[in-house]
Amino acid sequence: MSNSNGKVAVVTGATGGIGFAVCQRLGKDGYTVILNGIDDAAGAEKVAALQNEGITAEYYGFDVTNEEAVNSNINKIGEKYGKIDVVVNNAGGLGGRMRFEEMTTEFYRNVMALNLDSTFFISRAAIPYLKKGENATIINYTSNATWNGGGPGAGVYATSKAGVQAITRAMAKDLAEYGIRVNAVSPGTIDTPFHAQIKATKPEVFASWKDSIMLGRLGEPNEVANVVSFLAGNDSSFLTAETIQIGGGQALGI
């Protein structure tokens, strides 16, 4: 299933959970998939797994919060392929929990960098190559925390994801004249290694999460990947500046 449509997708944070599911789906859609991560061993393993499925894939190891590393790697990718068609800003995370009173400036900056700076750095570097792409698009990741302020100690995570929500709309305005669409997905509670610690240490808390989800279960990584695939493709050609909730109705509460 080599690159039948000649399109190139860059997925950050691609070696785990949702990111890898996105790579599998886009690969099956016919994209050449460029995986980014910071665990080079996992990167090699995931690329091999994709290649075994007949997907054309490559791994670039770099830290998405490092401006110079982002610029040099995105330029290498863009120059190699002559364009980029899809950017999926999947990298991000909670970064830990800390309440505002005791929050260090270093912690604040690290979480903002992981979620918001990374989205800005990757997108900015990719824009010249997206301009050469076909139905080019950027897909960002926001969160329910954008609306509800986050759980205990996750206030700066919520703040950073609210920034992603705003930059999604702002970039959509900025890039519309080039035909580049910018949208976001907002995954609810998805059963991934992201939640492994609480699943192991507080299984009753983990089990209770589904009680706040209308559909009565947690999401699966492929259910996020399916929506990313839709946003990347021609079926969403008139969709920009949108955020799609993928949470089984969780955002409304029950």
State the CB neighbour count (10 A cutoff) for residue 110: 17
* Active-site residue, 157 included: yes
User: Rounded CA gap, 80 and 32, in Å?
Assistant: 12
SS3 38: coil
* Active-site residue, 161 included: yes
Catalytic residue among 80, 141, 161, 210: 161
Which has the closest alpha carbon to 234: 134, 90, 84?
134
For residue 99, give every residue at least 6 positions away whose Cβ sits within 8 Å of its Cβ, in sequence order, or none: 152, 153, 155
Catalytic residue among 80, 157, 199, 202: 157
User: Rounded CA gap, 71 and 113, in Å?
Assistant: 15
Q: Which residues pair with 89 in a beta bridge?
A: 140
* 145-to-85, 222, 228 alpha-carbon distances in Å: 29, 22, 20
Q: φ, ψ for residue 239 (rounded to 5)?
A: -110, 120
For residue 208, give every residue at least 6 positions away whose Cβ sits within 8 Å of its Cβ, in sequence order, or none: none
Catalytic residues: 157, 161
